[in-house]
Amino acid sequence: MRSGVVPELLAASTYEEVVIVYHRVACAGFGLGKVTRDQGSCTDIARGRGGRYWANPVNQKFYWVLIDQRHAPLTGEDPRHVFAMLDPMWSAGVA
């Protein structure tokens, strides 16, 4: 993971912690709320009811990553990697 990632993500160790950080920083911090019927809202995802995440508040492009909807960790993966993969700007610490 690149060193520019939001510091809270480096401290997060569980799926739930990462979701909380993502919701606070990306959804709340940048007002990211454009959704389609099957995506749910930022709040729904933060509560574990969503199965996908999106990122890049600069251009509002969507980046899809499947997540277990039952609050389970990603199989064989550090959940923080999801956010490093979502978007180059996020990975670089810009977003």
Residue 27 amino acid letter:
C
Give the Cα separation of 24 and 27 in Å (integer).
Answer: 6
Q: How does pLDDT run across 40-55, given as a tens digit for each residue?
A: 444 444 444 444 444 4
Residue 94 lies in a domain: no
Residue 79 lies in a domain: yes
Of 18, 24, 8, 12, the closest CA to residue 65 belongs to: 18
Provide the pLDDT for residue 41.
Answer: 44
SS3 56: coil
pLDDT (tens place) for every residue of the chain, 95 residues total? 333 445 555 565 555 565 555 555 444 443 433 333 333 444 444 444 444 444 444 444 443 333 333 333 433 444 444 444 444 444 444 43
Number of domains, the chain = 1
Provide the pLDDT for residue 9.
Answer: 53
- Structural domain containing residue 68: 7-89
Provide the pLDDT for residue 75.
Answer: 39
Residue 68 lies in a domain: yes
